[in-house]
Amino acid sequence: MASAAAVVTINIGGELFQTTSGTLARTGASSPLSSLSPSTPADPHFLDGDPRLFALLLSFLRRGSLPSPPSAALLAEARHFALDAALLASLSPTSAFAPLSLRPSALLPLAGRAAPSAVALCPSPHPASVVVAHGGVVTCFDAAFASRRSVLTPLPAVDSLVAVSPDLAVAGARDFPGVHLCRFSDATAPPEVLSWPGSTSATVLSMAATAVSDAAQLPWLFTSFESARRNSSAVVAFDLNSLTPVAEIGRKEVFGADIEAAIPATKLGWLAGHNLLLAAGSHSGPAGVVGDICLWDVRASSTVPVWEVKEKDDCFADIAASDKLSALFKVGAASGEVFMADLRRLDNGGTIGSEPWMCIGAGQRATAAASSRRKEGNGCMIECYCNWVFVTRGSDVEVWSQVELAPEAGGKKVMRRNWVVSGPSMKVEGSEEGVTENTKIVSWAFGGSRMALARAEKISVEVWDSAPAAICAKS
């Protein structure tokens, strides 16, 4: 039993709470709660706050968990009391993400007139703050949406964005050189630019970061560059600690008219559990869409991929890699159907069977669409998060999950489409009219228990949470 001398009494909004100094010390040195001295009910400490939310925070500090994922209001209260960043992150963990429970929780308006072109969420274990590119500006909303910080880049329109931490993001744009570092902790700091070694005029096609929070992983940023003359390309890995290039991967040169021999990577993905880098690109020509997909073991070779496939029949409109499911997933450019390639079938010869892709959608429809060269997959995006695969179709999002069949059906694990959702109808505070029409999704991201969506021509970003509070707008 705690001694009376260690008991702290706090008055929150007219309600008294009693706890110990040791419990409050878990909030971190920057929190005013950690410095409260022992007190009695006759002379309590008074702090302005919501007693209902404070009771949940106190329970979390005592037990290290919550009965359900936190609301945006609870995260705002945690931010109000300056809880340690690691605690804030654990309030919205990846383990709390449940796609079937996702609901719109906030609408984040953006300053200016430029619609969002890219969105990112901070990786675990950082709090799932939202980073948005709109025009040449990159804006960061903290995990509780209580504050907003912006950095003006020299880029006219950012189309590649990676959130490294709550204080750092990297941005790039096609036809404009370099990767620009956005430091939200000091927006007035001189701009820093990462370039392809030996070619300061090279432009960025795509970016991806490793699991920088995992001590077992190298804190690398992978960036796909293309030369200003568009006659060469490569993926360059930068060490995020020193901001120096550490590897050039898969350099390609264009010779004569053989453009398809050097298709640059426009989609990158990192498979931490396999130590593999996905680098894929496609090219549209008179013969249709062709693509090149490579898997690189960056620690073994920077010139020879462990697996490569050239695509011509129903080439990918978008592609993603899942570490949890040990598979690649793509949306066919012609059919719009979802395909899967099992990485566990990767043999030493660098092939995944005779035909790597298995259609997990409507196979007959995919075959008919590919033979007729339709373009039903144009504009579709695909992304993997935890054990799920998400696909955008215009204004809608669908999710695929792995389910196990009953023993009498063979007991196999198959992928099933089990959720399709349209965009929310959000009412902005202070406005009589809600945002009811759904427009095409142009960018999205996942982090913690959240999904963030940017839609065409909307000067705002939607945040969906597995356990949201009432829908509201944040200034």
The token duo for 412 is 């196999």
Q: Nearest to residue 10, comparing CAs of 373, 303, 27? A: 27
The token duo for 49 is 């706050």
Helix segments in 270-395, DSSP class H: 363-372
Q: Residue range 193-220: average pLDDT?
A: 75
pLDDT confidence of 255, banded at 50, 70, 90? confident
pLDDT at 174 over 60: yes
User: Considering Cα of 157, then 159, then 162, then 166, what sign does the dihedral take?
Assistant: positive
pLDDT at 391 over 80: yes
pLDDT at 1 over 60: no
pLDDT confidence of 89, banded at 50, 70, 90? low
Q: Residue range 17-26: average pLDDT?
A: 91
Confidence (pLDDT) at 120: 95
Say which range, 8-12, 70-74, 181-185, has the weakest mean pLDDT. 70-74
Q: Which residue has the higher pLDDT, 401 or 30?
A: 401
pLDDT at 173 over 70: yes
Give the largest Cα separation in the chain, rounded.
86
Q: Nearest to residue 24, comparing CAs of 13, 43, 9, 46? A: 9
DSSP structure class, residue 35: G
Condensed to tens digits (0 to 9), the pLDDT of residues 265-303 reads 999 999 988 889 999 999 887 767 889 999 999 888 889
Condensed to tens digits (0 to 9), the pLDDT of residues 209-245 reads 764 444 445 688 999 999 988 889 999 999 888 889 9
Per the DSSP assignment, residues forming a β-bridge with 331 are: 318, 338
The token duo for 212 is 């920088």
In this structure, the strands spanning 7-12 and 45-47 are parallel
Q: Are 139 and 148 in contact (CB under 8 A)?
A: yes
pLDDT at 337 over 80: yes
Confidence (pLDDT) at 216: 46
Q: Nearest to residue 383, comparing CAs of 439, 297, 453? A: 453
The token duo for 387 is 């054990």
Domain assignments of the chain as residue spans, ordered by start = 4-95, 96-473
Condensed to tens digits (0 to 9), the pLDDT of residues 293-330 reads 999 998 888 899 999 988 888 899 999 999 999 999 99
Condensed to tens digits (0 to 9), the pLDDT of residues 410-456 reads 657 888 888 766 544 444 343 344 444 578 999 999 988 889 999 99
Per the DSSP assignment, residues forming a β-bridge with 316 are: 332
Helix segments in 286-418, DSSP class H: 363-372
Superfamily of domain 4-95 in the CATH hierarchy: Potassium Channel Kv1.1; Chain A (3.30.710.10)
Confidence (pLDDT) at 136: 94
- Beta-carbon contacts of 22 under 8 Å, excluding residues fewer than 6 positions away, are 2, 6
- Beta-carbon contacts of 407 under 8 Å, excluding residues fewer than 6 positions away, are none
Q: Quick one: CATH architecture of 96-473?
A: 7 Propeller (2.130)
What is the value of pTM for the model shown?
0.80
Confidence (pLDDT) at 475: 45
Confidence (pLDDT) at 140: 93
Q: Residue range 87-96: average pLDDT?
A: 70
Q: Compute the distance between CA of residue 191 and CA of residue 304 in angstroms, rounded to an integer.
A: 35
pLDDT at 334 over 50: yes
Confidence (pLDDT) at 155: 93
